[in-house]
Amino acid sequence: MISRRQCLAGLGAAILAPAIVARDSLPGYAQGLDLAALPGLRETAARKGILYGAAVRGDLLSRDPAYRAAVVKECGILVAENAMKFKPIRPTEKGWAFDEADATLAFAEANGMKVRGHTLIWHAALPDWAKATLASGGGAALLEQQIRTVMGRYRGRVLAWDVVNEILEPKDGLIDGLRKSDWYLALGPGYIDRAFRIARETDPGCQLVYNEWGHESYGTRPETILRYLEKLKKGGTPIDAVGMQSHLHTRWNVNARQLSWFCKSAVDLGLEILVTELDGDDSELPDDIQARDQGVHDRVRAFLEAVAAATVPRQVLTWGLSDRYSFMNAPGRREPGSRAKRPLPLDEAMRRKPAWLALHNFFTGL
């Protein structure tokens, strides 16, 4: 087991080493740098063996040509923001709804992109009928049916699947900090290992991922995640990678040293590190757009540099591509009258922003 102290000592030098990427100064806007003239992130990342991409919505790909063009220009990998989750893909017990997931796969394959699957087993996006099934003893069959049906449908076409998502919630007071979800209540802690084993049987060539949030945070969450990963690996669970959601916030700094420690420790367990839902919430920053964009840029850069001090993530996805469609600005999420957030690489008009430049410089600086 890697102690935090050992690793911090080792990584200390790595952290203090020259930054992975050249210290880019003010964003292009401020210097007349023509960001639009630079290659797409897809191309820049691919030169370093990295897949850059974004969460997408199928309805938008069909009805917004500017969005579709930006996705094609910037993305080498896609993940369906919602279409492959439990409730959207199986809203009723008898009614499977694969259309949007199918269309997303088809769009990606038509444009030479890879696809991540998100997510098979999660406490959220669970329809009431499934919760009732879990509560009445049908959980084992439901878990197996969901994985074998959804993963089986796309066998060989999905590079990586988030087999489980957000399974830890230490506040629930359960062993290992596990979340007291409907899945846990129905099946106990063993549902997680079971999910991974069924997933491995269903699509042996697919990268199996535990997706979670908070790896960059202060406090004990990163260590809780790591200890659970150690337990899974020790028990022989067929897990290949850790998905770090990476929903950053300008309210808090990235805990770079602990993040690097986490990444190195996970790599030492034989796990790959993936950045799966990167974005930056700028709601705490003043109204000045350049200050807000610079703040998100700085968080994204600090985060990626801390990860790369330990390992190069081979998949880097933002949770959306344009502020126009960020979930943070969705009608149900945005406080009435509040200003739209600017969390993503492209603005509402699909123009590249400082956050885009942070990604560009990260890839070119590796």
* Catalytic residue positions, numbered: 166, 277
Q: Give me the least distance between CB of 209 and ligand G3I, in Å please.
A: 12
Separation of alpha carbons 129 and 87, rounded Å: 10
Is 82 a binder of ligand G3I (CB under 6 A)?
yes
Sequence-distant (≥ 6) Cβ neighbours of residue 216 within 8 angstroms: 222, 244, 246, 248, 254, 255, 258, 259, 303, 306
Separation of alpha carbons 334 and 326, rounded Å: 10
Q: Give me the least distance between CB of 201 and ligand G3I, in Å please.
A: 25
Q: Give me the least distance between CB of 327 and ligand G3I, in Å please.
A: 3
Is 17 a binder of ligand G3I (CB under 6 A)?
no
Q: Give me the least distance between CB of 334 and ligand G3I, in Å please.
A: 12
DSSP H helical segments within the chain, as ranges? 4-16, 28-31, 41-46, 58-63, 65-74, 86-89, 99-110, 128-135, 139-153, 182-187, 190-202, 221-234, 256-268, 289-308, 354-365
How many whole angstroms from its chain centre is CA 79? 9
Q: Give me the least distance between CB of 12 and ligand G3I, in Å please.
A: 31
Sequence-distant (≥ 6) Cβ neighbours of residue 108 within 8 angstroms: 77, 78, 114, 115
Is 212 a binder of ligand G3I (CB under 6 A)?
no
Number of other residues whose CB lies within 10 A of the CB of residue 289:
15
Q: What are phi and psi of 252, to 5 degrees?
A: -120, 145
- The residue within the footprint of ligand G3I, chosen from 107, 161, 184, 327 (CB under 6 A), is 327
Q: Which stretch binds ligand G3I (CB under 6 A): 34-42, 59-67, 80-88, 202-210?
A: 80-88
| # residues contacting ligand G3I (CB under 6 A) | 9
Is 104 a binder of ligand G3I (CB under 6 A)?
no
Q: Give me the least distance between CB of 254 and ligand G3I, in Å please.
A: 18
| Footprint on residues 113-132 left by ligand G3I (CB under 6 A) | 124-125
Identify which of 111, 118, 49 has the alpha carbon closest to the alpha carbon of residue 89: 118
Segment (H or E) for 160: strand 160-165
| Footprint on residues 152-211 left by ligand G3I (CB under 6 A) | 165
SS3 track for 235-281 = CCCCCCEEEECCEEECCCCCCHHHHHHHHHHHHHCCCEEEEEEEEEE
Q: Which stretch binds ligand G3I (CB under 6 A): 79-87, 97-105, 183-191, 261-269?
A: 79-87
Q: Which is nearer to ligand G3I, 82 or 145 (CB)?
A: 82
Q: Which stretch binds ligand G3I (CB under 6 A): 38-46, 77-85, 217-225, 234-242?
A: 77-85
Q: Give me the least distance between CB of 325 and ligand G3I, in Å please.
A: 9
Separation of alpha carbons 204 and 198, rounded Å: 10
Q: Which is nearer to ligand G3I, 28 or 214 (CB)?
A: 214
Q: Which is nearer to ligand G3I, 21 or 160 (CB)?
A: 160
Is 245 a binder of ligand G3I (CB under 6 A)?
yes
- The residue within the footprint of ligand G3I, chosen from 216, 277, 298, 305 (CB under 6 A), is 277
Q: What are the residues binding ligand G3I (CB under 6 A)?
A: 81-82, 85, 124-125, 165, 245, 277, 327
